[in-house]
Amino acid sequence: MKTRLMRGLLGVVPPVLFVAAALAGCDARPARIESFPLSPESEQRPPDVRASIAKAMEAYFGTPVSPKVPKNEVVTGERLLAGGDHYRRLCLHCHGLAGDGAGPTAAFLQPRPRDYRLGTFKFTSTAPDVKKPTRSDLMKTLKGGIMYTSMPAFGLLDDETLESLVDYVVFLSMRGQFEKFLNVDYEEDPELFDIDSMAESDKDLVVSRWDETTESVVAPTVKPPEDVGASIARGKDLYLDKKLQCLSCHGETGRGDGAGTDLLKDDWGFKIVPADLTKGIYRGGSRPKDLWLRIYSGVKGTPMPAFNGALTPEQIWDVVNYVRSLAEPSTN
């Protein structure tokens, strides 16, 4: 019995091994994800509400394997499938399948990856009251990364890929914010929650918020002053001005050590600290224009306010010059 068993094994095992090895790779492909996960808020709703939310989400925005987007002026649906594939390979492990900023790597990063679902983006060239960026803002972030954070620069990718990624990020943001609005509607009055009517208007609201970015681009209206030295001096006075309160967060010497600043949080609920201006690290971009925009429109989603009302464009240049003068050469 034993010899026959052994002989049988000898005959059968080797070919089986090789066939098994060969077949192993046949199944190697990206996972077919048939649905996006619901947000934690949606998960908490009663089952019927949850189901209706899921249904509405799928109706307007499709699934990972077949994404779609409502008609709008920022994104068409053509590149979503390709964008989704690039996103899965390059972005998902940080930004998460639904763009919630909670991919597997996210927990270990400081600062955390962006959660697109709030519909707010920090580094924009849009007006102070517009929380969303333009396509070119997103493209700039993709190409140049965000300095000294875990968001890398993808500038070496080709334009087609980058455009499809911009599409997909906007898609995720729209989808995520739509879900948020549905939940807000539900919370306002659970009894009166009628998804059929509310979904359409919520979708329109999201779309309109993105559409308005195309008309809300801001830019410096004046050139920076010629006499940089004088500008810096003026900027310093503005910085220290009690009405403007720059030093209350950024500190007297610009080190980001203003009083009470370790209790600040951003709109996503994470602890945030004011920038240490002596480091010369400008996450939104280090061109003079970028700094001007940060001061003019603020950094959306954070306690950094917009100064478009409090400062004239010339004054903003003065502050920009002062801030740039604070940057010390790095020791690293």
Partner 1 sequence: MRKIWSLLFLLVPIMGVGMFAMAPSSGWWMPKGASTYAADIDHLFNLILGITGVAFVLTQGALVYFLWRYPDAEGRTATYAHGNHRIEMIWTVIPAAILVFIAFYQFGSWKDIKFRKIFAGEGTSPMFEVVAGQFEWRFTYPGKDGKLGTADDVHSLNEFHAPVGKKVVFDLKSRDVLHSFFIPRFRIKQDAVPGITIPVWFEATEEGDFELVCAELCGWGHYKMRGMAHIVSEAAFNDWLEKTKAAEEVFE
Partner 2 sequence: MSTAATAVAPGAHAHATHHEMGFFRKYVFATDHKVIGIQFLFTTLIFFALGGLLAMAIRWQLAWPWTEMPVIGKMLFPDAARQISPEFYTMLFTMHATVMIFFVIIPMLAGAFGNFCIPLMIGARDMAFPTLNMMSYWFMWPAFIIMLASFFVEGGAASAGWTSYPPLASVPSAAPGSQGGQTLWLASLLFVGVSSLMGSINYITTIVKLRAPGMKMFRMPMTVWALFITAILQAFALPVLTAALFMQLLDRLAHTGFFVPRDWVVGNVPVQGGGGQPILWQHLFWFYSHPAVYIMILPAMGIVSDVVATFSRKPLFGYRPMVYAIAGIAGLGFIVWGHHMFQSGMNPAMGMTFMVSTMLIALPSAIKTFNWLGTIWRARIQFTSAMLFALGFVSMFIIGGLSGIFMAATPVDIYIHDTYFIVGHIHYVLFGSSMLGIFAGIYYWFPKMFGKRMNEKLGKIHFFLSFITLNATFYAMHVLGTGGMPRRLADPFQYEYLEPLRSLNTFVTYSAFALGLSQVLFVVNFLGSLAFGKRTGEKNPWHANTIEWTTPSPAPHGNFEEIPTVYRGPYEYSVPGEGRDYSPQTEPLGTTAAGAHR
Chosen residue from 68, 88, 135, 143 binding partner 2 by CB under 8 A: 88
Residue from the set 8, 40, 46, 104 that interacts with partner 2 by CB under 8 A: 104
Binding marks (x or -) toward partner 2, 294..323, rule CB under 8 A? ------------------------------
What is the C-alpha separation between 153 and 215, in angstroms, rounded?
27
Nearest to 38 by CA among 200, 152, 202, 175: 175
Taking the C-alpha atoms of residue 30 and residue 28, their distance in angstroms, rounded to an integer, is: 7
Decide if 280 contacts 271 (C-beta within 8 A): no
Q: Rg (Cα) of the chain, in Å, rounded?
A: 25
Shortest Cβ distance from residue 108 to partner 1 (Å)? 8
Decide if residue 287 touches partner 1 (CB under 8 A): yes
Q: Is 105 in the site for partner 1 (CB under 8 A)?
A: yes
Give me 129's structure tokens.
């009251």
Binds partner 2 by CB under 8 A, chosen from 62, 103, 113, 298: 103
Residue 220 interacts, among partner 2, partner 1, none and using kind-specific CB cut-offs from 5 to 8 Å, with partner 1
- Taking CB under 8 A as the criterion, the residue among 224, 256, 303, 305 binding partner 1 is 224
- Per CB under 8 A, the segment of 13-21, 79-87, 141-149, 201-209 that binds partner 1 is 141-149
- Shortest reach from residue 53's CB to partner 2, in Å: 18
In the complex with partner 1, the residue whose CB is nearer, 58 or 290, is 290
Q: Pairing state of beta strands 66-67 and 62-63?
A: antiparallel
End-to-end CA distance of the chain: 73
97 lies in the binding site for partner 2 (CB under 8 A): yes
> Segment near partner 2 (CB under 8 A), from 19-27, 53-61, 160-168, 191-199?
19-27
Query: Are the C-beta atoms of 283 and 121 separated by less than 8 Å?
Result: no
Is 12 one of the binding residues for partner 2 (CB under 8 A)?
Answer: no
Among partner 2, partner 1, none, partner that 25 touches (CB below 5 to 8 angstroms by kind): partner 2
* Smallest distance, partner 1 to C-beta of residue 289, A: 5
CA distances from 265 to 79, 123, 177, 324 (A): 35, 17, 20, 25
Cis check for the bond before 111: say yes or no (omega within 30 of 0): yes
Q: Left, alpha or beta for 131 (phi > 0: left; psi -120 to 50: alpha)?
A: alpha
Residue with tokens 């003079």: 288
Question: Do 137 and 126 form a contact (C-beta atoms < 8 A)?
Answer: yes
> Using DSSP, how many helices (H) and how many strands (E) does the chain show?
12, 2
What residues line the site for partner 2 (CB under 8 A)?
A: 2, 6, 9-10, 13-14, 17-18, 20-22, 24-25, 27-31, 33, 37, 64, 88-89, 92-93, 96-97, 103-105, 107-111, 148-150, 331-332
What residues line the site for partner 1 (CB under 8 A)?
A: 105, 144-145, 148, 150, 152-153, 155-156, 219-220, 223-224, 286-289, 292, 329-330, 332
